[in-house]
C-alpha cells in the first residue's frame, strides 16, 4: 500500500554550482517480509527535487492516508451491521413465530422460528438460515457400530469425512464388535490419520465373545441383548460428552449427500404441526431392493412390521417432507438438547414391555411410551444402506 511509502529528503548535490532540475523518482519494491500482500515501497529520488514536488508528494501521502481511514471505518461499520443482524443464536422474543412447511422439496428454505417452551429450548435454539463460519455449531456425537465391514469401510469413512459439518464439533464413538475380518485394521489406520481433525475420537475394541451355538454371530436373543448394550453405550457416550445431538450411524450406511448431518440438525429445530422433532432419520435407499428402506410405516401391537398405506408414497418420494413413522433404523439423529430426550434409551426395557428382544423395536417402544414421535426425512436423496447379511457365512468368506 502507498501508506507504507517512505520519501527520502533530497541530498546535497555532489558538485556545487550545479543544479539538477530534472525531477525523477525511482520506485523500489522490496521483497515481502510476511505472508501479507503488502510491499515495502521506498521512494528514493535520483536527483534533487524542487520543493513544490515535495509538497505534491506530501499531499499524496495525506490523500492515501485519508483513503485508508475511510476504508477502515467502512469495514468496521459493515462488521457491526453484520453482527447486529439476526443470527441462528439470537433471541427473537416478542416476534411472531413463523412456521416452515415441511413438505417442500428443498431444505434450503429456513426462516426464524420459535420453539415450543415445553421443549425447554433456549434462545440458542433459533436458526435463521445456514450456519456461518463465525457461529458455534451444535456439537454432534456420532456413534458407529462396526461388525465385519472391511469391504465397505473405505467408502463409509470417505463419506463420513466428506460431511459438510465442522469436524471440530464432532465427537466420534466407534465400536468394533468382534470383527473377524480386517475391519479393526482399517479403523486403526483411519483413526491414526484423521483423529486430529475431530473434536474427539474413541475407538473401542469389543472383546466380549459372540460365539453362539457354533456360529460366529447368530440373530438370537443373546445376540440382540449384546447389540442393545452396544447401542446404549454409544448413546451414553454422547451424553457424557455433553453433545447437543447423537447421530447413530451403522457402518454399512454410505451417506452420498454431504449436507445430510447439517440438514438433519437444522430440521430438528423446525417444529412440525404436531410438536417438536426429537428423533429424525434420513430416508435411505437400499442397494439390493427397490422397496426396502430404513423405516417402518406402521407396527403391530406385538411389535412386528406392518405396512402402512402411505409406505410407498414415502419410500418412492411421492410425498416429500418430514413424516411421523413407526420405526427408523441404520441412521438416526436424537436431539439431546430437548429435556424429553432424557427418556430415550435402549436399555433397560420398561417392565411392561412384552415385545421382541430387538434393539430397534425396543427403542421405538420406549420413545412411544415417552410420547416421542419418530420422524423420517425424505425431502432429498441422502445415501444407501445394505440389507443385513447372514453373518453365519462370514467364516466361509475368510
Average pLDDT score, the chain:
73
CB atoms < 10 A from the CB of 112, how many? 17
Rounding to the nearest 10 degrees, give the CA dihedral for residues 385, 390, 391, 394: -100
Rounding to the nearest 10 degrees, give the CA dihedral for residues 228, 230, 236, 240: 180
- Who has greater pLDDT, 211 or 245? 245
The secondary element (H helix, E strand) that includes residue 285 is strand 285-286
Which of 1, 122, 113, 10 has its CA nearest to residue 65?
A: 1
- Who has greater pLDDT, 211 or 79? 211
What is the Cα–Cα distance from 156 to 287, expressed in whole angstroms?
A: 14
Q: In what order do the strands lie in the sheet with 6-7?
A: 6-7, 41-45, 25-29
The secondary element (H helix, E strand) that includes residue 331 is strand 331-335
What is the Cα–Cα distance from 175 to 46, expressed in whole angstroms?
A: 74
Mean pLDDT of 50-60: 51
User: Which of 76-80, 254-258, 361-365 has the highest mean predicted lDDT (pLDDT)?
Assistant: 254-258
- Who has greater pLDDT, 49 or 43? 49
- Per-residue pLDDT tens over the stretch 154-202: 999 999 999 999 999 999 999 999 899 999 999 999 999 999 999 999 9
- Who has greater pLDDT, 351 or 118? 351
Return the pLDDT at 102: 33
In this structure, the strands spanning 331-335 and 279-282 are antiparallel
107 neighbors 137 (Cβ within 8 angstroms): no
What is the Cα–Cα distance from 197 to 392, expressed in whole angstroms?
A: 37
Return the pLDDT at 197: 97
In order of their start, the domains of the chain are: 2-84 (no CATH), 117-397 (3.90.550.10)
Which of 245, 279, 278 has its CA nearest to residue 115?
A: 278
Return the pLDDT at 387: 78
Task: Give the distance from CA 276 to its chain's centroid.
Answer: 20
In Å, what is the CA distance from 65 to each residue of 27, 235, 374?
19, 59, 62
The sign one gets for the Cα dihedral 235, 241, 247, 252 is negative
pLDDT at 313 over 60: yes
- Who has greater pLDDT, 118 or 306? 306
Return the pLDDT at 319: 95
What is the Cα–Cα distance from 385 to 251, expressed in whole angstroms?
A: 9
Return the pLDDT at 249: 98
Which of 117, 115, 119 has its CA nearest to residue 89?
A: 115
Range with the poorest average pLDDT among 10-14, 150-154, 341-345, 348-352: 10-14
**Percent of the chain's residues with pLDDT above 70:** 59
Mean pLDDT of 120-137: 49
* Peptide bond before residue 348 is cis, with ω within 30 degrees of 0: yes
Confidence of residue 349 (pLDDT cuts 50, 70, 90): confident
In Å, what is the CA distance from 387 to each residue of 66, 70, 120, 391?
69, 63, 38, 12
What is the Cα–Cα distance from 266 to 73, expressed in whole angstroms?
A: 35
- Per-residue pLDDT tens over the stretch 9-26: 444 444 444 444 444 433
- Who has greater pLDDT, 139 or 213? 139
> Quick one: angle between helices 359-369 and 221-240, nearest 10?
50
What is the Cα–Cα distance from 186 to 178, expressed in whole angstroms?
A: 14
What is the Cα–Cα distance from 122 to 89, expressed in whole angstroms?
A: 9
Return the pLDDT at 134: 60
- Who has greater pLDDT, 4 or 152? 152
- Per-residue pLDDT tens over the stretch 83-128: 333 333 222 233 333 222 332 222 322 222 222 323 333 333 333 3
Mean pLDDT of 317-330: 95
Range with the poorest average pLDDT among 2-6, 140-144, 184-188: 2-6
pLDDT at 358 over 80: yes
**Percent of the chain's residues with pLDDT above 90:** 48
DSSP letter assigned to residue 109: -
Characterize 134-152 residue by residue with b for buried, 16 or more Cβ atoms within 10 angstroms of its Cβ, and e for exposed. eeebbbbbbbbbbbbbbeb
The sign one gets for the Cα dihedral 338, 340, 346, 348 is positive
The secondary element (H helix, E strand) that includes residue 374 is strand 374-377
Amino acid at each position: 500500500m502507498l501508506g507504507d511509502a517512505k520519501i527520502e529528503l533530497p541530498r546535497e548535490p555532489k558538485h556545487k554550482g550545479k543544479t539538477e532540475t530534472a525531477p525523477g523518482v525511482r520506485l523500489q519494491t522490496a521483497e515481502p517480509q510476511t505472508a501479507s500482500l503488502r510491499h515495502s515501497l521506498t521512494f528514493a529520488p535520483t536527483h534533487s527535487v524542487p520543493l513544490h514536488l515535495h509538497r505534491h508528494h506530501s499531499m499524496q501521502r495525506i490523500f492515501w492516508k485519508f483513503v485508508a481511514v475511510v476504508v477502515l471505518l467502512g469495514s468496521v461499520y459493515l462488521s457491526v451491521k453484520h453482527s447486529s443482524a439476526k443470527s441462528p443464536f439470537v433471541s427473537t422474543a416478542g416476534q411472531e413465530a413463523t412456521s416452515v412447511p415441511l413438505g417442500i422439496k428443498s431444505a434450503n428454505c429456513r426462516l426464524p422460528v420459535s420453539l415450543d417452551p415445553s421443549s425447554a429450548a433456549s434462545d440458542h435454539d433459533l436458526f435463521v438460515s445456514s450456519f456461518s463460519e463465525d457461529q458455534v455449531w451444535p456439537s454432534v456425537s456420532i456413534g458407529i457400530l462396526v461388525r465385519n465391514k472391511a469391504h465397505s469401510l473405505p467408502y463409509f469413512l470417505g463419506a463420513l469425512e466428506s460431511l459438510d459439518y465442522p469436524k471440530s464439533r464432532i465427537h466420534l464413538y466407534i465400536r468394533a464388535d468382534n470383527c473377524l475380518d480386517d475391519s479393526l485394521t482399517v479403523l486403526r489406520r483411519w483413526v491414526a490419520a484423521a483423529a486430529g481433525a475431530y473434536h474427539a475420537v474413541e475407538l473401542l475394541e469389543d472383546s466380549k465373545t459372540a460365539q453362539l451355538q457354533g456360529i460366529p454371530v447368530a440373530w438370537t436373543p443373546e445376540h440382540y441383548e449384546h447389540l442393545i448394550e452396544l447401542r446404549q453405550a454409544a448413546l451414553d457416550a454422547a451424553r457424557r460428552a455433553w453433545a447437543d445431538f447423537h447421530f447413530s450411524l451403522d457402518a454399512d450406511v454410505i451417506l452420498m449427500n454431504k449436507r445430510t448431518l447439517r440438514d438433519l440438525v437444522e430440521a430438528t429445530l423446525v417444529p412440525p404441526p404436531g410438536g417438536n422433532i426429537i428423533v429424525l432419520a434420513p430416508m435411505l435407499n437400499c442397494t439390493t431392493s427397490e422397496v426396502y428402506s430404513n423405516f417402518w410405516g406402521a407396527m403391530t401391537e406385538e411389535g412386528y412390521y406392518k405396512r402402512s398405506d402411505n409406505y410407498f408414497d414415502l419410500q418412492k418420494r411421492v410425498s416429500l417432507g418430514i413424516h411421523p413413522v413407526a420405526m427408523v433404523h441404520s441412521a438416526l439423529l436424537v436431539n439431546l438438547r430437548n429435556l424429553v430426550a432424557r427418556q430415550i434409551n435402549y436399555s433397560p426395557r420398561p417392565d411392561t414391555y412384552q415385545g421382541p428382544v430387538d434393539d430397534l423395536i425396543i427403542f421405538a417402544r420406549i420413545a412411544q411410551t415417552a410420547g416421542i414421535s419418530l420422524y423420517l426425512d425424505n425431502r432429498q436423496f441422502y445415501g444407501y444402506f445394505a440389507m443385513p447379511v447372514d453373518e453365519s457365512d462370514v467364516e466361509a468368506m475368510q
